[in-house]
Amino acid sequence: MNRLLLLISFVITPVLAQGATYYVAKTGRDSNTCSQAQSASTPKLTISSGLACLSGGDMLIIKGGTYTEGVQSDAIPSGLSETQRTIIKAASGEKVIVNGLNSIGDVWSIYDRSYITLDGLTIDGSNATYCGLRIGGSTVGSHYVTAQNGEILKCHWTSSSNQGAGLNSNLKYINLHIHNGGRSDSNQDHGIYIVAHDSLVERCNIHDITGHGIHIFTSSGTNNNNVIRNNTIHDNDSFGVLLGSGSNNYAYNNVVYGNGRHISGTGGMWIAYYGASGNKIYNNTIYNNTGIAIRIRTDGSAIVRNNICYQNSTDSIDDETGTASISNNLFTNPLFIGAFGFNFALSADSPAIDKGMTISEVPNDFNEVTRPQDAAFDIGAFEY
């Protein structure tokens, strides 16, 4: 009897099928059916036509070329789960440029969607009015959306932004090159503007933005539990990183240099604004920024440890609250291997070696080297 029940259970238990794969190419035709577009030899011509074929959990592979179109907020269906994401990706080894239309606000927007991955795309904001990539929503927000292995450039406003205060969560920006964005007369256009909680910015290179490199803020104060790690953030007009209006946000293992170029009073990293509490700045290398290395404006429970602050206009940590926890930071010459060549690894006789505090949240360094390598944590983004 037990064997019979077991056999019946195998027969009636549904097995979730893998999603379908569709193709878009500059050699394609939008007159091709969705069934035909499942073959790389008969693809769709436009991204919008390819997206119209997708159901949740499907994949769209885009062949190399420049696509002068925009992707609107409701064009991509949500995935079904973390393991059944809707994926839009560039074909392996091919450069896909999406450069929008003059008539649209954003090049690419995703609203009220979940479990979506954008992989390997170049989003060029030259032709759009506002953002390169906007993720958000007005009803339930967007969740578990990942943008990775791509490039966002020349956006008139913020390069990548969230919309919908308090609604968005679990967004990931991984290995993105974000650069040359924002209006020349504005300090409100940022590289990544996070209006979300439990989100991640990792291994991104963000530079030549007219505002902050990374900006976490919402007036609702719900930008909590975000992680900014292992990024290179440099040559932006305002602060490299702002942790604002949220609690328990982390910034660690970042290399932050050359920021604060054109906006007075800015510099490396900043904690400020509404409801900021319990934020952490650990093991960053903050070098040659115009202005102050680290400023704490409103978070009296902030923790700032193991940071190198050197060759900034002001090599200090300015705690305006008077109650933040600040220790094990280095303000003298760290003896980098080659700062002029932007090699901020430590030389053998660096005073940063073994002078840091053990921090369980930072088990590896910028290059994923395990901490500590010797008796104690090193100060800065790199473990010797």
221-265 tens-digit pLDDT: 789 999 999 999 999 999 999 998 899 999 999 999 999 998 888
Rounded CA separation 179/132 (Å) = 11
pLDDT at 1: 41
**Digit-coded pLDDT (tens) for 190-233:** 999 999 999 999 999 999 999 999 999 988 778 999 999 999 99
Q: Which helix (H) or strand (E) is 7 found in, with range?
A: helix 2-12
Task: Identify the pLDDT of residue 18.
Answer: 64
pLDDT of residue 104: 72
User: What percent of the chain shows pLDDT beyond 70?
Assistant: 95
DSSP conformation letters of 170-213: --EEES-EEEEES-TT-S---SEEE--BS-EEES-EEEEESS-S
Least confident of 97-101, 307-311, 314-318, 374-378: 97-101
3-state secondary structure of 63: coil
The residue-averaged pLDDT of 344-368 equals 98
CB count in 10 Å sphere of residue 308: 31
Mean pLDDT of the chain: 93
**How far, in Å, CA of 301 to CA of 155, rounded?**
36
Res 165: pLDDT: 67
Helices (H) and strands (E) in the chain, counts: 2, 33
pLDDT of residue 163: 85
80-119 pLDDT, tens digit each: 999 999 999 999 999 999 998 876 789 999 999 999 999 9
Q: Which two tokens stand for residue 7?
A: 């056999």
| CA 18/CA 84 separation, integer angstroms | 8
Q: What is the pLDDT of residue 21?
A: 98
pTM of the full structure = 0.94
Strand partners, 250: 227, 280
Q: Extract the tokens encoding 57.
A: 């959990």
